[in-house]
Amino acid sequence: MTRKSEIIFNEANKYIPNGVSSPMRTFSLVGGDPIILESAKGTKIIDVDGREYTDFLSGFGAIFLGHSREEISQAVAAQLDKGLVVGLSTEIEKELARKIVESTPAIDKLRFVVSGSEAVMTALRIARAYTDRKYFVRFVGSYHGHADALLAQPGGNVAVAVKGTTNGVAENNVIMCEYNNSEQLRQIFEERGHEIAAVIVEPFATNMGFVKPHANFHQDIRQLCTDYGSLFIFDEVVTGFRFRFGGVSALLGVDPDLTTFGKIIGGGAPVGAYGGKEKFMKLVEIGNKVFQSGTFAGNPITMAAGNAALDLMAKPGFYEAMDEKGALLEKEIKQNFEKYDIPFHFTRFGALSGIAFRRSAADMQNYSDVKQQEYEIYKNVHLAMREKGFLMAPSLEEPIFLNDAHTNDDIIRFAEALAVSIAEQIK
């Protein structure tokens, strides 16, 4: 019998390229038919064929409080009765902005947009306008959304295939650097520092699976940007509000010029935000150098969901509890890897983590390390985990996303199933 999900996906292909509106949803990197969603509650996802999965994808990190969290659903429902998008500002927009600005010392002012891509695009626009320079540095393997400037094919010699590039981009103003390579970045600035408008970096490289920065990496970026008059942009679309109430920059002792947010601050609704020092944010004021606008920017539905989400995360003990979930996952993963003699390495910070699918006990440092992983093993493991009722990211180059709804039992069962699935592949 043909499954309902297969019928829907085949029908979607008639009207939507690849049948999806975002490429990861094809599951093309891991095999198997895409999951077609019926409903989601807490950590449980039900597909249109009635199959249940315990979710460790968590909306690619946007779901931090569990699916269909009652407090968020109630806030959205209340706003629905008041109106959707009417082209006006709201008090709840001001309130969400206040909470974010007060949470993060690096930010004086902030504006909302609809996606992380928009937030980063505007931050780069501000940097170019402020410095009157056109080039910026990004790191090989990182992903900052799909704005043109961020997907340009890089010039020069790049050691490995560059993730996230496209044709159809008019200008190539990007300079590539290896993540965690402060010396290479220093050489870039010595050669072209007078041309560089900004350096953009993820605090943790979460689009390579999970790669931590070395101890002084962000401080080195900060110093070079200061020395050469370039702006330092911290892309916290994934990390913002994940480890503390606010940007992780405060936790890491980093002082960026501009910061971008997304995912968590929308409570599951579409959102992006960019903020920073007053002198940079002034550029988007009316009549100044930088223009940004959007019908759905700061829309009331997202603002209602975001406020409800941040109120929940502001409660005492929330982040301590999330760290405990991460610590439990780490303990269970490592115990099971030892039990089944699995030579892969687990890395964690707070409730965000990843597994290096390579036979090494060392942390991955850059995208060259990432590309040494055994992608075919992950593909087979992903399929096996689906059969066992667990949903992971449909790419090896994404983290394991814990959320507040995950129970200890969810975590323990997941860790055991994952170790068994890997052991079956490396015999």
Write out the catalytic residue numbers: 143, 235, 263
Decide: helix, strand or coil at residue 111: strand
- Asked whether 222 and 69 are in contact (CB, 8 A), the reply is no
Q: What is the DSSP letter of 295?
A: T
Distance between CA atoms of 281 and 136, rounded to whole angstroms?
19
At how many degrees (to 10) do helices 375-387 and 408-426 cross? 130
Closest CA to 49 of 63, 39, 60: 39
Give the CA angle between residues 19, 24, 25 to the nearest 5°.
Answer: 45
Lookup: tokens for 73: 């659903």
Closest CA to 326 of 402, 246, 398, 240: 402
DSSP string, 303-372: HHHHHHHHHHHTSTTHHHHHHHHHHHHHHHHHHHHHHTT---EEEEETTEEEEE-SS-SSPP-SHHHHTT
Distance between CA atoms of 230 and 131, rounded to whole angstroms?
7
| CB-based burial label for 1 (10 Å; 0-12, 13-18, 19+) | exposed
Q: C-alpha 122: how far from its chain's center?
A: 17
